[in-house]
């Protein structure tokens, strides 16, 4: 008797459910994707018990006929794929034909659907994968799927589900990913009777991103749009002024499909490596478009992973697109308009507070204070926007090119030997950390020299002999060539000694042994899963730190003014290479509130 036997359809569907349906969020993802594929302009999701007790997904898509409604519960039955060749040109979310039968096999599912041309709709009830009811019914155009008692047929799976709030959070995240990929569709999510997420169709993409990630992100969003070869990268990234912990605010989409790809995530993180502090992550919503034949989406049952024909080309396109957005956008100056309540000037004289104080009754005081003719109009004035700083033109200056942000500042003086105090043309008090500012400037110069492989060395009249620790000496010997590309002319002089003939000109006067010791530690990561190209940002940042003006170091006015001018000639000037802010600003309104003038 044969030991190998064919599994029954119910067992096959339950096995598929283990791959496709991990938790309620998986059900939401699959059903909402089906709604979008069906041409819906609106999708509404309702959860009860975090989705464990009930999930209802309603759309206004094309709907299904009775025959298609029944076929939807059969495994590998799909309207989105005709033959094997279609796997290389997939433009829909679903194509496997596994999700609906897998979900139905582990729950109690009810499907109600109607096509626009049909007089009546169809109702199908399925329990544990077995069709119980098929009947005609009245229904609006579109489809509603109700999933109840998820995993009732597999109690062992149900006990691993988390609290209702946790499961609802995962379901919300699944919906948000689709909402960010499908701006043409309106979405809503209710959980436990509370509206969790809502965004209308064709909404401003910035508004939808803000609704998904956080309203405070909206004014920090920068446009991304770059085409490189057959790859186009578009979307939005957050300025370095907005960051978070973890990668929760990074969303990458390939041909409209949300994917989790380590290389794409690394490209985004690398673009921010020298403008965000360690441990902080940016916000990014990026849409990567490329020919369908250049990407394989048939990798994972949940379709969250893809394979690129040319992964390096995609990586470089994302890296360049994000860097260009950060480099070319004036995110330092493009701050949100300050919303304040501005009171129009009254035509009446100011209140006579002395008369009020002398009033003998509350009524007498009230008559002195309120009402005054014309002041009732104040109630009609809502918050108004303070205009953004005006760009200076050639006519404004009369001496050629318009100044940059830092060049337009009037230098006032130095505070605590560490901070440069300046005034901006729009009456803001601008405070610069002189070490962070000079560090960014030095880092830029070192990086550009390294990119050109043209380091400017400062030779010594006589070689300097340095004694290093055993571990540091070993690392320096291994990376002598890399050090030479940075401008260090270094030769072994003994077991742990080196003869230093020249250093990068920017490091003249710095502690050479300490610099090389720090660089040795940075180089330790090279070869341990990290490429020299990636490590170079940290290496150059270490060099810039040693070469920069220190805190509590006095600067002459002309030195401070030259630093301000030089900052406008480089990119990412508002952050040091370690990600710390270079500048802080205090508006005149904020200052006057602090001193009681308003």
> Rounded to two decimals, what is the model's pTM?
0.65
Q: 396: which 2 tokens? A: 């404004």
Q: Which residue has the higher pLDDT, 396 or 431?
A: 431
Q: How far is CA 183 from CA 171, 195, 239, in A?
A: 19, 19, 23
Please give the average per-residue pLDDT across 404-408, as a whole number: 86
Q: Report the pLDDT value the prediction gives residue 22, as an integer from 0 to 100.
A: 87
Q: How far is CA 107 from CA 46, 74, 94, in A?
A: 16, 15, 20
Statement: residue 398 has pLDDT above 70: no
Statement: residue 361 has pLDDT above 80: no
pLDDT band at 359; cut points 50, 70, 90? low
DSSP E strand stretches across 247-309: 250-254, 257-259, 284-289, 295-296, 307-308
Question: Model confidence over 63-79: pLDDT tens digits?
Answer: 999 999 999 888 755 65
Q: How far is CA 505 from CA 51, 442, 509, in A?
A: 63, 11, 9
Q: Which residue has the higher pLDDT, 458 or 434?
A: 434
Q: Report the pLDDT value the prediction gives residue 155, as an integer from 0 to 100.
A: 83
pLDDT band at 379; cut points 50, 70, 90? very low
Q: Report the pLDDT value the prediction gives residue 137, as an integer from 0 to 100.
A: 95
Q: How far apart, in whole angstroms, are the C-alpha atoms of residue 295 and residue 399?
A: 53
Pairing of strands 186-191, 42-48: parallel
Q: How far apart, in whole angstroms, are the C-alpha atoms of residue 421 and residue 585?
A: 10
Q: Report the pLDDT value the prediction gives residue 317, as an integer from 0 to 100.
A: 95
Question: Model confidence over 150-203: pLDDT tens digits?
Answer: 998 788 888 889 889 889 989 999 999 999 999 999 999 999 999 999 999 987
Q: Which residue has the higher pLDDT, 511 or 391?
A: 511
pLDDT band at 529; cut points 50, 70, 90? very low
Q: Report the pLDDT value the prediction gives residue 14, as an integer from 0 to 100.
A: 53
Do the beta carbons of residue 301 and residue 15 sit within 8 Å?
A: no
Statement: residue 429 has pLDDT above 90: yes
Q: Report the pLDDT value the prediction gives residue 342, as an integer from 0 to 100.
A: 36
Q: Which of 438, 439, 524 is nearest to 477 (CA)?
A: 524
Statement: residue 45 has pLDDT above 70: yes
Stated as kind and residue range, the H or E segment containing 545 is helix 532-547
Q: How far apart, in whole angstroms, are the C-alpha atoms of residue 149 and residue 53?
A: 5
Range scoring the smallest mean pLDDT among 55-59, 143-147, 485-489: 485-489
Integer-rounded Cα Rg, in Å, for the chain is: 32
Do the beta carbons of residue 110 and residue 125 sit within 8 Å?
A: yes
Q: Which residue has the higher pLDDT, 113 or 357?
A: 113
pLDDT band at 409; cut points 50, 70, 90? very high
Question: Model confidence over 4-27: pLDDT tens digits?
Answer: 767 666 655 555 544 568 899 999
Statement: residue 337 has pLDDT above 50: no
Q: Report the pLDDT value the prediction gives residue 215, as an integer from 0 to 100.
A: 83
Statement: residue 234 has pLDDT above 90: yes
pLDDT band at 421; cut points 50, 70, 90? very high
Q: Which residue has the higher pLDDT, 252 or 441?
A: 252
Q: How far apart, in whole angstroms, are the C-alpha atoms of residue 398 and residue 392?
A: 10
Do the beta carbons of residue 97 and residue 113 sit within 8 Å?
A: no
Q: Which of 185, 320, 200, 203 is nearest to 256 (CA)?
A: 185
Do the beta carbons of residue 60 and residue 117 sit within 8 Å?
A: no
Please give the average per-residue pLDDT across 238-252, as a whole number: 88
Please give the average per-residue pLDDT across 100-117, as a whole number: 93
pLDDT band at 526; cut points 50, 70, 90? low
Q: How many CA atoms lie within 13 A of 342 on its CB side?
A: 9
Q: Where are the alpha helices (DSSP H) in 272-415?
A: 311-328, 353-358, 362-369, 394-397
Stated as kind and residue range, the H or E segment containing 228 is strand 221-228
Q: How far apart, in whole angstroms, are the C-alpha atoms of residue 555 and residue 566?
A: 15
Statement: residue 29 has pLDDT above 90: yes
Average of per-residue pLDDT values in the chain: 79
Question: Mind listing the domains of the chain with CATH numbers?
Answer: 9-199 (3.30.565.10), 205-328 (3.30.230.10), 404-598 (3.30.1370.100)
Q: Report the pLDDT value the prediction gives residue 400, as an integer from 0 to 100.
A: 32
For residue 189, give the DSSP letter. E
Q: Report the pLDDT value the prediction gives residue 8, as an integer from 0 to 100.
A: 66
Pairing of strands 121-127, 130-137: antiparallel
Question: Model confidence over 537-591: pLDDT tens digits?
Answer: 777 777 788 778 888 888 999 999 999 988 888 876 677 877 788 888 899 988 8
* Residues above pLDDT 90, as percent of the chain: 37
């Amino acid at each position: 008797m044969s030991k190998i036997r064919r599994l029954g359809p119910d067992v096959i569907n339950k096995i598929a459910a283990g791959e496709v349906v991990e938790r309620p969020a998986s059900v939401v993802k699959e059903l909402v994707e089906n709604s979008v594929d069906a041409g819906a302009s609106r999708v509404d999701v309702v959860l009860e018990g975090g989705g464990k007790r009930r999930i209802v997904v309603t759309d206004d898509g094309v709907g299904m006929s009775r025959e298609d409604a029944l076929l939807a519960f059969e495994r590998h039955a799909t309207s989105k794929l005709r033959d094997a060749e279609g796997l290389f040109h997939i433009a829909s979310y679903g194509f496997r034909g596994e999700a609906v039968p897998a979900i139905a096999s582990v729950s109690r599912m009810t499907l109600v659907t109607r096509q626009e041309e049909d007089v009546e709709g169809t109702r199908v009830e399925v329990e544990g994968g077995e069709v119980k009811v098929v009947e005609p019914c009245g229904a609006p155009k579109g489809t509603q799927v109700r999933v109840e008692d998820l995993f009732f047929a597999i109690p062992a799976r149900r006990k691993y589900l988390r609290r209702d709030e946790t499961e609802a959070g995962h379901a919300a995240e699944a919906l948000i990913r689709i909402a960010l990929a499908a701006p043409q569709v309106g979405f809503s999510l209710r959980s436990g009777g509370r509206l969790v997420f809502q965004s209308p169709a064709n909404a401003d993409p910035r508004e939808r991103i803000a609704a998904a990630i956080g309203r405070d992100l909206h004014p920090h969003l920068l446009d991304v749009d770059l085409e490189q070869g057959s790859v186009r990268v578009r979307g939005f990234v957050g300025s370095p002024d907005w960051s978070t912990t973890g990668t929760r605010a990074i969303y990458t989409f390939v041909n409209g499909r949300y994917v989790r790809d380590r290389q794409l995530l690394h490209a985004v993180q690398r673009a921010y490596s020298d403008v965000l502090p360690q441990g902080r992550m940016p916000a990014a919503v990026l849409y990567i478009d490329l020919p369908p034949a250049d990407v394989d989406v048939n990798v994972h049952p949940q379709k969250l992973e893809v394979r690129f024909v040319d992964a390096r080309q995609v990586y470089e396109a994302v890296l360049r697109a994000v860097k260009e957005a950060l480099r070319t956008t004036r995110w330092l100056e493009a701050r949100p308009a300050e919303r304040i309540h501005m009171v129009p000037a009254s035509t009446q004289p100011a209140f006579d507070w002395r008369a009020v104080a002398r009033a003998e009754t509350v009524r007498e005081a009230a008559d002195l204070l309120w009402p005054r003719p014309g002041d009732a109009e104040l109630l009609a004035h809502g918050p108004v926007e303070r205009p953004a700083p005006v760009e200076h033109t050639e006519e404004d200056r009369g001496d050629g090119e318009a100044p940059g942000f830092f060049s337009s500042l009037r230098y006032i003086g130095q505070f605590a030997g560490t901070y440069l105090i300046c005034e901006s043309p729009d009456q803001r008090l601008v405070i610069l950390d002189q070490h962070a500012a000079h560090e960014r400037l030095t880092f830029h110069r070192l990086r550009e020299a390294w990119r050109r492989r043209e380091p400017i060395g400062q030779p010594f009249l006589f070689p300097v002999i340095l004694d290093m620790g055993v571990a540091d000496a070993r690392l320096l010997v291994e990376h002598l060539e890399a050090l030479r590309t940075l401008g260090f002319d270094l030769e072994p002089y003994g077991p742990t000694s080196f003869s230093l003939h020249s250093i990068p000109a920017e490091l003249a006067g710095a502690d050479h042994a300490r610099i090389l010791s720090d660089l040795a530690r940075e180089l330790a990561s090279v070869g341990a899963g990290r490429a020299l190209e990636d490590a170079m940002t940290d290496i150059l940042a270490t060099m810039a730190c040693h070469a920069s003006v220190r805190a509590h170091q006095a600067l002459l006015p002309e030195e401070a003014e030259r630093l301000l001018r030089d900052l406008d000639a480089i990119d990412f000037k508002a952050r040091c290479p370690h990600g710390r802010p270079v500048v802080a600003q205090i508006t005149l309104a904020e200052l006057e509130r602090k001193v009681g003038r308003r």
